[in-house]
């Protein structure tokens, strides 16, 4: 049996802590060796943040009554010995629920009232207003209190049909979406718009985020959920009923809310839940298994995914088996097969991506710090040659040598004017880049889109308008790329001149690739355009709903732009810090050379002492280089698959 998802996540948490500790030790060592300049420190901080803030979001998506909450209980909360998420008859998750851990916030459940849908703010904006959420503190070691608190996500309220429509519910005019009204014409809707659970569960503490989504009607009514949260999840677990297979409403969720391309399909696991409903005492075990296999095969064909990505389980029996420690029932529930698929396909792929990214960062860190060490070695070699050239020379020769070094120093200082001019152009281009992707430019784009969406009635040509907007956004990114290339070419020319004239070893770091950012834009566009079909025509006709859609888009685009700007700023800092370091080292070198010549002129035995001193420093630099290789090799080893706890034959 493969490693369970929980065990895999435990291994991942251990890896993150060990890697963070090694980074901290390396940062301290670099500081002790005076190798921690602004660029290296920034690179280390980004690497630490990359590992520390690495989140794995698993979104559970299903129509009502597919056993989604029970599946979450079975996989993540069986250790409590009871159901934690509401999953009994008539009690199920009614609002999108995020479970995660933030050490800065006490354990609590926060609930956003459904009435906030009548206001224009997006979910992201409501997150910034904690006082608007109803809060319930959680006793993390009290399963009964947790279950009672979590039951709030199943709460409903009765409203008129008009109120339900105003809040975004049941806009479709189809029999499957018809409402059950009471004698007074009232209907039940979710009491809450969104739920945030902050709890120190072992998996959540290690960076897991669980997104529990309600059925089709609730998903469609919350654009931010469809166009932001679900597309950004590293994995989506889509749950079907084993007795029904893929129903029309299941297919609607799959086609309309789960973006379909090769990359997305690879991150989807389809769960055929409730196989225990097929356990018929009148059928043989072979007949039951054949029936389950037919449902798996049919589901895979309808959803157009590989059959291996459809896992048949019984979440309810799996939970009971874990609580009662019934190994035979656990085996029959096939829950371990799903946990194995989650750990192998989701955690395995996520760890590979993180490992590759961290390896690139460590490699760049090694190259940058190694270059600093080489600068020191080169300066020491120059000093040693210069000092040995003075052996046996008289005072006039030594004075001439001092005059020559002083002139070199003056010429070098004069070159600073050219460097300042290049830096001025560099800063100008950086300001232009920030203007292209800044908040003012993005607000302008969103204002045009918002004005078009707020027009009354059905929106004709809305997809074309979206297409034009994204074309301009892509054009902005291309302009940023062009300006980045200008900066790169300008710095390369200046670095070449400095390398030639002063023996520097400057090298412009590779500019951030534009393709990943363009891919992010394409994904966002697909998730939004997919949302603009006829199925949402009634919702889009409501100005307040259209406004929420644009706000959700704006938040996601802002995140992309901020990532681009952060990466470009780090790249720019790396080039500037490299230049600053070599300028600083060269100035120190001039001072040391002049001091050495002065000491030799003042004392007859000063030359031999100075040569011995330089040789000692050279030996120290050799030791620093060896230690640097040792530390970075240790970090690189940790990025290999086996250090993540990944079995190579599983990948």
Give ∠ CA 547-111-563 in degrees, rounded to 5. 55
Lowest mean pLDDT among 143-152, 238-247, 251-260, 578-587: 251-260
Task: Identify whether residues 204 and 250 lie together within a single domain.
Answer: yes
Q: What is the pLDDT of residues 451-481, one digit of tens each?
A: 877 776 556 677 788 888 999 999 999 999 9
Kindly state whether residue 388 falls inside one of the protein's structural domains.
Answer: no
- Cβ atoms of residues 210 and 98 within 8 Å: yes
Residue pLDDT, tens place only, 25-45? 888 888 888 887 777 787 788
What is the total residue count of the chain? 651
Residue 449: is its pLDDT beyond 80? yes
Distance, in Å, from the CA atom of 632 to the CA atom of 26, rounded to the nearest integer, reads 8
The answer to the question of residue 478 being in a domain is yes
Portion of the chain with pLDDT greater than 70, in percent? 87
Query: Same structural domain for residues 38 and 85?
Result: no
Q: Is residue 534 part of a domain?
A: yes
**pLDDT at residue 618 greater than cutoff 60:** yes
- When pLDDT is cut at 50, 70 and 90, the band that residue 344 belongs to is confident
Classify residue 49 by burial, with Cβ atoms within 10 Å: 0-12, 13-18, 19+.
Answer: exposed
Query: Based on the domain organization, do 455 and 321 belong to the same domain?
Result: no
Q: Is the pLDDT of residue 621 over 80?
A: yes
Shared-domain flag, residues 286 and 362: no
CB of 344 closer than 8 Å to CB of 353: no
Confidence bin at 147 (pLDDT 50/70/90): very high
Query: pLDDT class for 274, splitting at 50, 70, 90?
Result: very high
Q: What is the pLDDT of residue 450?
A: 83
pLDDT at 458: 57
Range of the domain at 121: 53-155+191-333
Confidence band, pLDDT 50/70/90 cuts, at residue 220 = low
The per-residue pLDDT for 91 is 56
Is 241 found in the same domain as 145? yes
Is residue 161 within 8 A of residue 185, CB to CB? The reply is yes
pLDDT for residue 589 is more than 90: no
Residue 180: inside a domain: no
- List the alpha helices (DSSP H) in 186-246: 202-205, 216-221, 223-224, 230-232
Q: Domain holding 111: CATH number?
A: 3.40.50.300
Count of CB atoms situated within 10 Å of the CB of 435: 11
Residue 516 has pLDDT above 80, yes or no: yes
308: nearest Cα among 351, 264, 340: 340
**Number of other residues whose CB lies within 10 A of the CB of residue 74:** 29
Confidence of residue 1 (pLDDT cuts 50, 70, 90): very low
Q: Which helix (H) or strand (E) holds 22?
A: helix 5-32
Give the pLDDT mean for 505-519: 86
Task: Give the per-residue pLDDT at 418.
Answer: 77
Together in a domain, 42 and 70: no
Q: Is 478 left (phi over 0), alpha (psi -120 to 50) or beta?
A: alpha
**DSSP label of 110:** E
Q: Do 144 and 288 fall into the same domain?
A: yes
pLDDT of residue 208: 83
Residues 363 and 301 in one domain: no
Cβ neighbours of residue 291 under 8 Å, at least 6 residues apart?
Answer: 278, 283
Main-chain dihedrals φ then ψ at residue 100, nearest 5 degrees: -160, -170
Residues 364 and 289 in one domain: no
**And the tokens for 445?**
């784009």
d(CA 268, CA 263): 9
pLDDT score at 407: 85
Which tops the pLDDT comparison, 19 or 432?
432
Residue after which a domain boundary falls, among 278, 304, 333 = 333
Q: Does the residue 184 lie in any domain? A: no
**Structural domains of the chain, count:** 3
Residue 44: its pLDDT value, please?
82
pLDDT digits (tens, 9 = 90+) for 170-203: 654 443 344 567 777 788 888 999 999 999 887 7
Average pLDDT taken over every residue of the chain: 82
pTM of the predicted protein model: 0.70
In a domain, 70, yes or no: yes
Q: What is the DSSP letter of 245?
A: B
**Mean local confidence (pLDDT), 494-516:** 84
pLDDT at position 315 is 94
Residue 540 pLDDT exceeds 50: yes
Of 518 and 420, which is predicted with more confidence?
518
Sequence-distant (6+) residues with CB within 8 A of 271 are 71, 237, 238, 239, 240, 310, 311, 312, 313, 315, 338
Tell me: do 353 and 423 sit in the same domain: no
- On whether both 125 and 199 belong to a single domain, the answer is yes
Question: 276-334, pLDDT tens digit by residue?
Answer: 988 887 788 889 899 999 999 999 999 988 898 899 999 999 999 999 999 999 999 99
Is 261's pLDDT higher than 60?
Answer: no
Whether residue 175 lies inside any domain: the answer is no
Q: Region 408-428: what's the mean pLDDT? A: 82
The CA distance from 522 to 444, in Å, is: 20
The conformational region for residue 504 under phi > 0 = left, psi -120 to 50 = alpha, else beta, is beta
Question: Beta strands 208-212 and 235-241: pairing type?
Answer: unpaired
Residue 15 — pLDDT band, cuts 50, 70, 90?
A: confident
Cα distance between residue 312 and residue 297, in whole Å: 11
Task: Lowest mean pLDDT of 148-162, 313-327, 348-362, name the range.
Answer: 348-362
Domain identity same for 431 and 446: yes
In a domain, 648, yes or no: no
């Amino acid at each position: 049996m493969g490693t369970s998802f929980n065990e895999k996540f435990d291994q991942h948490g251990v890896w993150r802590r060990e890697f963070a500790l090694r980074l901290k030790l390396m940062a301290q060592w670099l500081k002790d060796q005076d190798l921690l300049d602004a660029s290296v420190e920034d690179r280390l901080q980004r690497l630490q943040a990359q590992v520390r803030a690495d989140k794995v979001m698993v979104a559970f998506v299903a129509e009502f009554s597919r056993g989604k909450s029970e599946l979450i209980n079975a996989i993540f909360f069986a250790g409590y010995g009871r159901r934690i998420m509401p999953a009994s008859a008539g009690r199920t998750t009614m609002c999108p629920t995020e479970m995660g851990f933030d050490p800065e916030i006490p354990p609590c459940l926060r609930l956003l009232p459904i009435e906030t849908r009548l206001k224009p703010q997006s979910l992201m904006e409501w997150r910034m207003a904690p006082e608007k959420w109803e809060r319930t503190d959680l006793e993390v070691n009290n399963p009964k209190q947790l279950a009672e608190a979590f039951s709030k996500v199943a709460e409903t309220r009765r409203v008129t049909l008009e109120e339900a429509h105003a809040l975004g519910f049941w806009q479709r005019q189809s029999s499957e979406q018809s409402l059950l009204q009471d004698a007074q014409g009232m209907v039940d809707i979710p009491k809450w718009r969104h739920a945030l659970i902050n709890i120190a569960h072992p998996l959540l503490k290690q960076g897991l985020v669980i997104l529990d989504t309600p059925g089709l009607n609730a998903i469609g009514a919350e654009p931010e959920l469809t166009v932001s949260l679900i597309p950004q999840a590293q994995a989506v677990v889509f749950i079907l009923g084993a007795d029904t297979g893929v129903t029309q409403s299941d297919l609607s969720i799959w086609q309309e809310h789960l973006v379909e391309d090769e990359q997305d399909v690879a991150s989807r696991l389809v769960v055929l839940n409730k196989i225990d409903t097929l356990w018929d005492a009148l059928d043989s075990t072979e007949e039951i298994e054949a029936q389950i296999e037919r449902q798996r095969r049919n589901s895979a064909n309808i959803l157009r995914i590989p059959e291996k990505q459809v896992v048949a389980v019984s979440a309810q029996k799996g939970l009971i088996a874990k609580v009662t420690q019934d190994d035979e029932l656990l085996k029959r529930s096939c829950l371990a097969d799903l946990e194995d698929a989650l750990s192998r396909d989701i955690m395995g792929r996520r760890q590979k991506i993180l490992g590759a990214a961290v390896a690139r960062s460590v490699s760049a860190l090694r190259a940058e710090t190694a270059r600093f060490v080489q600068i020191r070695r080169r300066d020491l070699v120059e000093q040693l040659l210069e000092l040995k050239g003075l052996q046996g020379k008289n005072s006039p020769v030594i004075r001439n040598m001092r005059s020559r070094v002083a002139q070199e120093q003056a010429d070098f200082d004069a070159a600073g004017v050219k460097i300042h001019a290049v830096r001025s152009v560099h800063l100008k281009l950086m300001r232009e880049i920030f203007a292209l992707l800044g908040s003012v430019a993005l607000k302008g784009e969103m204002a045009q889109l918002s004005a078009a969406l707020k027009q009354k009635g059905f929106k004709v040509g809305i997809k074309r308008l979206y297409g034009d907007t994204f074309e301009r956004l892509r054009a902005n990114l291309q302009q940023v790329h062009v300006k980045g290339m200008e900066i790169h070419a300008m710095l390369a020319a200046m670095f070449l001149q400095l390398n030639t004239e002063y023996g520097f070893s400057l090298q412009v770091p590779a500019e951030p690739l534009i393709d990943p950012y363009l891919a992010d834009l394409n994904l966002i566009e697909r998730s939004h355009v997919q949302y603009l079909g006829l199925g949402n025509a009634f919702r889009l006709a409501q100005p307040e709903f259209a406004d929420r859609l644009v706000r959700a888009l704006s938040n996601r685009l802002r995140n992309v732009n901020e990532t681009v700007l952060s990466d470009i700023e780090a790249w720019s800092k790396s080039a500037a810090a490299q230049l600053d370091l070599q300028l600083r080292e060269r100035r120190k070198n001039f001072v040391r050379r002049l001091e050495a010549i002065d000491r030799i002129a003042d004392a007859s035995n000063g030359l031999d002492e100075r040569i011995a001193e330089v040789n000692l420093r050279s030996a120290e630099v050799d030791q620093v280089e060896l230690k640097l290789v040792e530390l970075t090799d240790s970090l690189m080893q940790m990025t290999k698959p086996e250090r993540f706890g990944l079995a190579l034959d599983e990948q």
